[in-house]
Structure 1
Amino acid sequence: MRADDALTAPGTHTDPRELYAAALDPEGGFSAAQFAEALRAEFDRAAGAAPVDIDAGVRAAARWAAAATARVVELGEKAADADRPVLARRAALGCAPLALVSGAWLQWLSSPADADEPEVLSALALYADDVGVGHPRSSRGDAYLDVLRALRLAESAVPTARLARDRRVPGWAFRLPAVLLAAGRRPERLRSEILGADLCLRAAGLLPPLALVRAAQPHAADWNALDPATARKLSPGGLDAARRCVQMRIERGGPQARARVLRGLGWALAALGEWQERMVADLDAALDPGYEMAQLLRDRAREGSVYHQRFELGGRPLSCWLAESREDPAGLLAALSESRLVKPGAAEASSLVNALVSERGPMFRVFSPEDLDVVRRWIDGLPGTAAAHARSAARAKSEQTPLAIPLPSPEEEVQDGGRVRVSLREAYHGLINRNSTPRLRRFAVDYVHGWLARARTGLDVGETKLPAAWEPGGLRPWLLEQHDAHGQYFERTAEEPIPSREDLIDSTVQLAPLTLIDGGWLHGFTDYEHATSELGSFLFETYWDELGNGEPKLNHPLIYRQVLAQMGVELAPTGAAGFAADPRLRESSFELPVYWLSIGRFPQRFLPEILGLNLAMELSGVGGSYRRAHLALTKYGFSTRFVDIHNTIDNVAAGHSAWAADAVDTHMSAVLLTRGAAARAEVWDRVRAGFRSLDPPADRRARRAQRAAARAGSAR
């Protein structure tokens, strides 16, 4: 086995909770080939259930949803009024792992390698609709967070990975979204299956159990936003857009892609059916108050068994009952129901939920208010027979639902201690795709550390432009000053000679590795939670704009290729090996692009530096060099559209430059609030280094610092 493909031991089975949490890490390493093969085997489980064609699959999903919803509604109607809030709560928790990440499996379907392809842009448009591009906290998942908040169940829902630790959410509820999220981390192998599964989920629409939640909380959320079949009028989205994505995938990939799309669709329909059966069984069991009480005893037994050695219950120490309850709480249920702690049918008179948990009681704050509601409901439903307690306990038994999808081991992500040596062209070709090897990941980290060390050389004495300190008033006044300076630069240089035609073409060609990955430094912000956060929404919308908002005619890399074509230059597709190997491109032309691609993989680790780089990049040409470039292109009869569109959308009033400044201010305000003034200075120095990293010094001292930091990065 190669080190790059190393996983945990063959045959390892993973708790869906663990896979769910791991797949939500935007910097996680899912590089092993066996990981993708295990996912493909999971999709193959339902190969026999694959529909015969796309329309048949969509109809089948819609029929399933209608029948499943009717079944849930019937269950709710037969419940007593007092039980309906319980059903709504359990339905909301059971739907949470999927609904909180609705559409997130699409987050890696675009990459700098293919961001100029219509099929990819179509998928990106669908995803942008899901995250509510341009509006912070407007994703479909955020709409579901409103539901949880209305029911007071959101304590563990932010960030979403924390949900995996919430024992109120059953393990089986993580299986379906965990597979989808994990598949989304390997789009180069599973794109067709992802799109097929996504189409199925949109055809099914609003998750059936949410009918119970909607009945209990009709005004808790934007229910249209929770329905993935419905476009949100922010960009093309919903079921129709998903159909278009699938059709484009099939047109490009042919019969094999069609078969794999159908396989993904069939898998999702089967997985939804399994999920729904578990959900209905859980809801039906919850009509019995003993079911939730048994679950509570089982979940709290471990910590409780440490105490109560001297408290006798039914002739045994309570600690012994609790230890036994980790596997089977039936005995403790029966013993409690017959004890002096409980008055059957009268919770208000039972010391278990009164004196014992009062502020002077020995169990003060041991149970949450929600726990006490469960205990009260169980007591009010007594008396119950020993057989009834056994049934409740049996139905509440914890179910293990492991997946045969092993996780990459963090230790195996960094095998040896030596420095990774990769050529710039090799690094460019490897990093331009979403997937990579541990070796390439470590190269990227080392390269960023080296590049930033170069940017920091002489930072305090060099011309950095950014103020020496950030002030709570923000960067907007500074931004206007810089725009004025750019305008003055243009006026000063307006009469200077225009470069020759040959020099203009050469510079345009040498900028191709950089410009054809426009926005590449931000590709990590397609991550679902980043893309919809107060800070990340600025960065995702910028990325979305650079790629043309899903429209090829507005896509910046494609517009740049049109200029190259006018110059008589045809380059290979950006993601092809032939592009990085093209002898017309000088080695030095890959230095800055490799930095963009490297830092873009680590939106959390290098967040301050990315914010600074983004500000420098968006401000760099506005009002000055873009206008100079316009003059040169006009003189030789080439299209000026690329520089013109950047000079407008990067504007300092409401464009990318303004968004970049606002993103920095948002982050710095949060740092000041949560970490204080000392941290503000430290983080601001990192932002300044990021700003300068767009054009770092290249003297001998700076280059030495770069090499030393890269070597030290390998030892981190």
Structure 2
Amino acid sequence: MTKINIKDLPDCSELFHRILNLEQGHAETREASREFVESVHAAYRDTCQSKVRDSEFDVDDAEWLVNKLTTWAVDWQSKRSISIRDADRDVVARFVTEQYAPIGLAPGSVLQNIANAANCHEPIAAHTHAAHAWHIGGFSFADNHSALYRQLLECTGQYLPKIESPTFIARANVTPASYTLAAYRLALSLFPMSSTPEILGSALFELCVPVSPLVDAALSQNEALHAHPYMLARHDASRINAHGHIERAIGIALDSAVENTSKIASRVALGLWTSMNLLDAWQDETACHIQSRLLDPTVGMIEVIRRKSRFAVGYHNRLKLADHPFDEYVVKDPEHFVEDLAHSRWIVPGKPDESLLLTRLTAFGGPMFRVFSEQEIAVIRAWIASLRADSCSAGAELSANITVTCAGEASAWACSIAQSRFIEQDPHPGNARHSRAKQVGARELYHRMLNHEAYPDVFDDAGVFAETWLARSFALSERGPNAIPFLRYTRERLRGWFENKALLQARSYAGPTHKIDKSREQVIDEAVQLCPMILVDGGWVQRWTNASHVDTNVGMLLWKIFSDEIGNGDPLLNHANIYRDLMRQMDVELPDFRTRAFAESDLFLDESFEVPAFWLSISQFPRRFLPETLGLNLAMELSGVGGAYRTARDELRHYRFDTSFVDLHNTIDNVSTGHSAMALEAIELHLDAALSTANGAAVDVLWRRVWTGFCALAIPRRTWKELFAKPTYPV
């Protein structure tokens, strides 16, 4: 097995947090993720290749390959031997579900970026998008597996912060090993083009083993938890369909392999093998923690004292314990502190209800009332109850509680990697780079954004481009035809404006009998100039497929819009592919839109790249520019409904071109239940939530930002003032 230098690997919890907050430092986080993935693969590549050789892979048969890999996963799953004593089941269930939270709250995350603006028109991306949809509950927030797992946690009395928050990774009760597999999946997802085979292998394993066997075992003795909607959703028969999509994606990857097919198969196997070993390592580490710490009342008490000790300093100046100054002793030596506390006057061994620590000191009116949480009081009570002369040794007693098949070297490696620390960095590392980034032209930015794995610094350029664009749009929103329609936001005002706007657009349509003034060449040229934009249709919301974004009400609406734009997992329904058919009908030969030849083509005006470059740029900052994205989304979905699309249909029909693209958008974007209505609802959800937590002035600022985003669909004019100073966006 390849040896790795643990010190060179990042702390998994830090990396987990940074990927979930990617826009704070794109380039640095992506580089750290790449190094992490390479190190993990190096650790498991030799054993995986040995397994591949022993299995005599038939790499020409995708079905055979998937069946073989599925067998690996199922065989591994069946060998997990876990038993938990009835008396400990609630404690263990609570602990295990909390440790599993980084995984359970980010389901399917390895697939979250594989369908993106650059490749969503291709079959592999379509199939993986359909598989990813299973993990997030299709288009229903109520069925989102992340939301269901949070409900499961709440059933055990645990209310965890949002996974992207610093508070989540700072929780003392989540061990470092709990982040390893979750961080691997998130890190791998950042490289959808170069790591497609490994992503497919990892996704296949998650579908084969949708819930860790340890979680299954921990919940098995509690009927309500084991039959919880999360468990039912993860084991639902619909998983077979998602599994089928991954199998077909693997088949396409093998059939289209430029390199040796066996190499692609081995890389798919490596993704599954790595994921399996990381989950195995997590199970071992968690089981060992249960054995040696969780179910040992003394160890649990020491952990409580260790967490609380720094808060106790200064409140016990005149107290001593076993001749040691209390404040000094509790901080420097928690283990011996607890040992001596057991023999103090505050404790009656074996009798928590008679111990002064619980009956007086921590009771109502006592000097430590509410100092300890209910969970910590339960730990103290269990510790006091365990203080009996005839008690068994912790090791002997625990051996009957839980048994786990160990993974040996993999477990030790996972423990070590989880304990290594990330090099101290600026919490917002992208800021310095952002300030130095120069404005990149729209053609070049368009090309780089569609090939971002080859241009890791492009996200700094994207941030500058988006902010400059919004600054210009903000200026335009103050006056003229784009002036903000009202300054004080209310839902009624927004609804009234929306309905009036939709009515005006419908009335703007001249009717099917109006004269077509454009020549055939003009119609074709207008269609061609739209290509850079149409070929990345939905690109402005492409990051809303990601964990911590899609598991919200607003996120689910934006996810559905993006899914519709890219065909809901069917390349034939992909909007860009429908437009490509129109171009072929017009006898327009287009280079692949990801190539430099496309970006530099004389077919297009420079202006044709402006809006799509802005879309691709703003999409990389879903949190920073959320209000603006919501406004842009509404402008985009509402733009052609009723008038422009119907006029375009008449022009296309006049010259006998297919009208499928405009017909589709005139229906799917409708203002009743379509994308326009969904875009409006997303804005209402966002602003109404702000109304409940902020004052009116703060909400009005958010509304102004939403309107700026709405205005940003049009190319904002550059003003003469930019000769003297770069425009700044006041957010």
Same fold per superposition (TM over 0.5)? yes
CA contact (8 A) 2:12 2:179 kept: yes
Equivalent residue in structure 1 for 2:464, among 427, 443, 446: 446
Equivalent residue in structure 2 for 1:319, among 319, 323, 327: 327
Q: Does 1:604 align with 2:609?
A: no
In 2, Cα distance between equivalents of 1:436 and 1:690:
29
Residue 127 of structure 1 corresponds to: 132
Report the TM-score, using the length of structure 1 for normalisation.
0.89
In 1, Cα distance between equivalents of 2:266 and 2:111:
19
CA contact (8 A) 2:10 2:36 kept: no
In 2, Cα distance between equivalents of 1:279 and 1:685:
49
Report the TM-score, using the length of structure 2 for normalisation.
0.87
Match of 2:43, as an amino acid? R
Equivalent residue in structure 2 for 1:647, among 666, 681, 695: 666
Residue 21 of structure 1 corresponds to: 17
The alpha-carbon distance between structure 1 residues 417 and 519, as it changes in their structure 2 partners (threshold 3 A), is closer
Q: After superposing the two structures, state which structure 1 stretch, 253-262 or 581-590, moved more.
A: 253-262
Per-residue CA deviation, residues 606-634 of structure 1 (Å, 9 max, x unaligned), is 11111111111101111111111111111
Per-residue CA deviation, residues 495-521 of structure 1 (Å, 9 max, x unaligned), is 143411111111111110001000111
* 1:153 positional shift: 1.1
In 2, Cα distance between equivalents of 1:436 and 1:474:
46
Equivalent residue in structure 2 for 1:272, among 269, 274, 279: 279
Match of 2:92, as an amino acid? L
Q: After superposing the two structures, state which structure 1 stretch, 210-219 or 520-529, moved more.
A: 210-219
Q: Does 1:339 align with 2:344?
A: yes
In 1, Cα distance between equivalents of 2:266 and 2:548:
32
Equivalent residue in structure 2 for 1:694, among 697, 702, 713: 713
Per-residue CA deviation, residues 11-43 of structure 1 (Å, 9 max, x unaligned), is 544322211211211424343556414421211
Residue 299 of structure 2 corresponds to: 291
Equivalent residue in structure 2 for 1:537, among 529, 534, 556: 556
Residue 252 of structure 2 corresponds to: 248
Q: What are the ranges of 5 or more consecutive residues in structure 2 without an aligned counterpart?
A: 58-64, 399-414
Equivalent residue in structure 2 for 1:630, among 634, 646, 649: 649
Q: Does 1:219 align with 2:237?
A: no
In 2, Cα distance between equivalents of 1:231 and 1:18:
33
Q: Does 1:402 align with 2:398?
A: no
In 2, Cα distance between equivalents of 1:355 and 1:390:
33
CA contact (8 A) 1:526 1:540 kept: yes
In 2, Cα distance between equivalents of 1:245 and 1:228:
23
Q: What are the ranges of 5 or more consecutive residues in structure 1 without an aligned counterpart?
A: 1-8, 394-398
In 2, Cα distance between equivalents of 1:28 and 1:664:
24
The alpha-carbon distance between structure 1 residues 317 and 268, as it changes in their structure 2 partners (threshold 3 A), is same
In 2, Cα distance between equivalents of 1:247 and 1:592:
36
Over the matched positions of the two proteins, sequence identity in percent amounts to 29
Residue 6 of structure 1 corresponds to: none
Secondary structure in structure 2 of the residue aligned to 1:187: coil
Secondary structure in structure 2 of the residue aligned to 1:553: helix
Secondary structure in structure 2 of the residue aligned to 1:188: coil
* 1:246 positional shift: 2.8
Match of 1:245, as an amino acid? A
Q: Does 1:262 align with 2:269?
A: yes
In 2, Cα distance between equivalents of 1:132 and 1:705:
49
Equivalent residue in structure 1 for 2:474, among 452, 456, 459: 456
CA contact (8 A) 1:46 1:263 kept: yes
Q: After superposing the two structures, state which structure 1 stretch, 205-214 or 272-281, moved more.
A: 205-214
Q: Does 1:349 align with 2:346?
A: no
CA contact (8 A) 1:143 1:221 kept: no
Q: Does 1:186 align with 2:191?
A: yes
In 1, Cα distance between equivalents of 2:6 and 2:720:
44
User: Which structure 2 residues correspond to residues 390-539 of structure 1 after superposition, within 5 A?
Assistant: 401-403=418-420, 410-411=428-429, 414-415=432-433, 417-418=435-436, 420-433=438-451, 435=453, 439-464=457-482, 467-469=485-487, 470-473=489-492, 475-491=494-510, 495-539=514-558
CA contact (8 A) 2:86 2:221 kept: no
In 2, Cα distance between equivalents of 1:377 and 1:276:
25
Residue 4 of structure 1 corresponds to: none
In 1, Cα distance between equivalents of 2:110 and 2:389:
46
CA contact (8 A) 1:38 1:405 kept: no
Residue 412 of structure 2 corresponds to: none
The alpha-carbon distance between structure 1 residues 637 and 191, as it changes in their structure 2 partners (threshold 3 A), is same
Match of 1:264, as an amino acid? G
Match of 1:48, as an amino acid? D
Q: After superposing the two structures, state which structure 1 stretch, 602-611 or 650-659, moved more.
A: 602-611
Q: Does 1:168 align with 2:173?
A: yes
Match of 2:42, as an amino acid? D
Residue 396 of structure 1 corresponds to: none
In 2, Cα distance between equivalents of 1:388 and 1:118:
59
Per-residue CA deviation, residues 17-73 of structure 1 (Å, 9 max, x unaligned), is 2112112114243435564144212112111332424433321211222232xx22x
Match of 2:12, as an amino acid? P
Residue 371 of structure 1 corresponds to: 376
CA contact (8 A) 2:349 2:385 kept: yes
Q: After superposing the two structures, state which structure 1 stretch, 95-104 or 358-367, moved more.
A: 358-367
CA contact (8 A) 2:89 2:218 kept: no
Match of 2:633, as an amino acid? N
The alpha-carbon distance between structure 1 residues 268 and 408, as it changes in their structure 2 partners (threshold 3 A), is farther
CA contact (8 A) 1:109 1:187 kept: yes
Count of aligned positions: 689
The alpha-carbon distance between structure 1 residues 418 and 658, as it changes in their structure 2 partners (threshold 3 A), is same
The alpha-carbon distance between structure 1 residues 570 and 176, as it changes in their structure 2 partners (threshold 3 A), is same
CA contact (8 A) 1:139 1:532 kept: yes
The alpha-carbon distance between structure 1 residues 65 and 635, as it changes in their structure 2 partners (threshold 3 A), is same
* 1:691 positional shift: 0.8
CA contact (8 A) 1:464 1:688 kept: no
Per-residue CA deviation, residues 455-504 of structure 1 (Å, 9 max, x unaligned), is 23342432238631421336444333222212211037951434111111
CA contact (8 A) 1:344 1:382 kept: yes
Secondary structure in structure 2 of the residue aligned to 1:425: helix
Equivalent residue in structure 2 for 1:89, among 94, 101, 110: 94
Q: Does 1:202 align with 2:207?
A: yes
* 1:207 positional shift: 1.3
In 2, Cα distance between equivalents of 1:100 and 1:128:
15
